[in-house]
Amino acid sequence: MAIDFKGRVAIVTGAGGGLGRQHALALAARGAKVLVNDLGGARDGSGSSLTAAEHVVAEIRAAGGEAIANGASVTDWDAVQAMVQQAVDTWGRIDIVVNNAGILRDKTFAKMDLADFRLVLDVHLMGAVHCTKAAWPHMVEQKYGRILMTTSSTGLYGNFGQSNYGAAKLALVGLMQTLGLEGAKNNIHVNCLAPTAATRMTEDLLPAEVLAALQPQAVTPAMLVLVSEDAPTRTVLCAGAGNVEAAHITLTQGAWIGLDGHSPERLAEQLEQVRDRTAEMVPPNGSAQGGYEVGRAMAMLKPE
């Protein structure tokens, strides 16, 4: 069955170019009314201009779709609230939020200024928090919502020189996990997408032949599935160059090391067993880890 978004209203942040533009165009092509948000700043977050967003709106309208432009910075809570209200005032609802806006301030941790660390966290993490928080009451009221966080392989697996970016991106996975649980009763699904794509954000990081294979539009199918009516929730998909994978934070079977004075030495001796990924699991929530640990302890401490 074809995925369509007729009657749905979407906000895509950072949609003036690259991945965000592709996301906005694809949602509009499948029937969504789209608020195209873009600060219009440089890759490092400096400057601003509404032009980029307006160009994408013009593209959508030229193709017969409905769209409006917005130039709010996702770091500005008041501006983000006004942005969501702009969508609601225009179309009466908000169904989808694609948190895509981001910046880079790459340096090794030793050389990084703390202001650059904070700014990257502010844009990626707090920007997504602001947009999601502003849309959340509307989604609760209408008993429907689809929220997408843009995470990254850097957050999931690390990347040299991107401690600030990686910290922000993995934080979004944690945000997804809890919001997915809290939103379930109101049919609000929350997912993450880790894209690998050639955009303004990555053009200096990869060789030309690799960039040619990593077209932004190859990531968009995963986005469409993750914000569709039949979307999963609390799912992390990785996508690039026509491939899609799922990432999980897993828990190994581990080992019981006891509570006596020799526990540290016992752990050191059994560390390879603790790290063994055979039969690893994906806990359904945070308390499941504690439940597993207490259950094993009770079994080990049970009198023969």
Catalytic residue numbers read 165
Give, in degrees to the nearest 5, the angle at Cα 66 between 65 and 69: 125
DSSP single-letter state for residue 26: H
Cβ count near 300 (within 10 Å):
10
The CA distance from 208 to 286, in Å, is 42
Give the pairing type, strands 243-247 and 236-240.
Answer: antiparallel
The CA distance from 290 to 254, in Å, is 13
The CA distance from 171 to 186, in Å, is 23
Residue 18, classed as helix, strand or coil, is helix
DSSP single-letter state for residue 108: -
- End-to-end Cα distance, the chain: 57
The CA distance from 217 to 264, in Å, is 50
DSSP single-letter state for residue 216: G
92-106: burial string, b at 16+ Cβ within 10 Å, e else: ebbbbbbbbbbbbbb
The CA distance from 3 to 86, in Å, is 26
The CA distance from 1 to 6, in Å, is 14
SS3 of 272-290: the string is HHHHCCCCCECCCCHHHHH
Angle, helices 77-91 vs 127-142, to 10°: value is 30
